[in-house]
Structure formats: structure tokens, C-alpha cells
Amino acid sequence: MMNRPSWDEYFRSIAELVATRSTCLRRKVGAVLVKDKHVLATGYNGAPSGVPHCLETGCLREKLNVPSGERHELCRALHAEQNAFLQAARYGISVLGATLYITNQPCAICAKMIINAGIKKVIYSGDYPDSFALEFLIQSGIELVKV
């Protein structure tokens, strides 16, 4: 008998694959929005479409020695969660009540977007130096699962 992955394992593995498309030199992150066992949208961290990415220009944050989790405005990239939300919006897909699978803990900016998008559950694996984000998500009542 074949050993099939659980739904959570399946969608987490998709998030890991999505992360391989990242153009970030510091951290490769993938996100998958899922509802009723169907993928709604995916996203990875990288520069906006048509804009040179860090693989081409280098990392400004590295050049300025900006620690991870700080000064997001100095980054060329959108975060994986942001790109997944924007992809869903572009194609008119509601994410209300969806589950977000992500390869790293969200930052505070993404946590606020997750809350207002109506995401009901966040399943993540890697850490991120932003305890403020976790506080937001916990206060909002979103189910958080670290694997």
C-alpha cells in the first residue's frame, strides 16, 4: 500500500517548492493559500514583476548590514505572503477563511495583512526574528501551527 502524505504535508511541500523560485539572497520563502483542499494562490519573496531583482543588483540590506527582520523598506522584494495575496487579488480569488502555508514565520507587516485578509490558520516552519508578528496573530485569534 502506498504511503500518501497528509494534506498538511502536501501543502507544506508545495510551499517549499514555491520557495525555490525566490530571488532573495538572504532567505528563500514560499507561501501557499489553500481553501477546501485546493490551492488558491502561491507566492515567493522577490522583486516586483519587471524590476531587477537582488540576484542581478545585489542586496542593499547586506551592503548596509541591516539585520534580518528590520528596515523592510530597504528591501527590493515583496514577501511571499504579500505576493500570494496579490496573485489572488489579481485573479479575483477570495482568500477569506483560507489557510496559509509558509516556509517561515510571517513578519509584523505580513501578519497585519493575514489578519485583514481573513486568513483563519497559518502553518509555518521556519523562524523569523519578529515576536511582534506572533503577538498580532495570537491576539487576532488566528490559529498558528509551527511544524
Full pLDDT tens readout for the chain, 147 residues: 789 999 999 999 999 999 999 998 889 999 999 999 999 999 999 999 999 988 899 888 888 888 887 888 888 889 999 999 999 999 999 999 999 999 999 999 999 999 999 999 999 998 888 889 999 999 999 999 999
Query: Count of CB atoms within 10 A of residue 23's CB?
Result: 17
Q: What are the binding residues?
A: 79, 107, 110
Q: Which of 70, 81, 135, 143 is catalytic?
A: 81
Residues tagged in the binding site annotation for Zn(2+): 79, 107, 110
The full set of domain ranges for the chain reads: 7-146
Q: Which three cell numbers stand for residue 37?
A: 483542499
Architecture of the 7-146 domain = 3-Layer(aba) Sandwich (3.40)
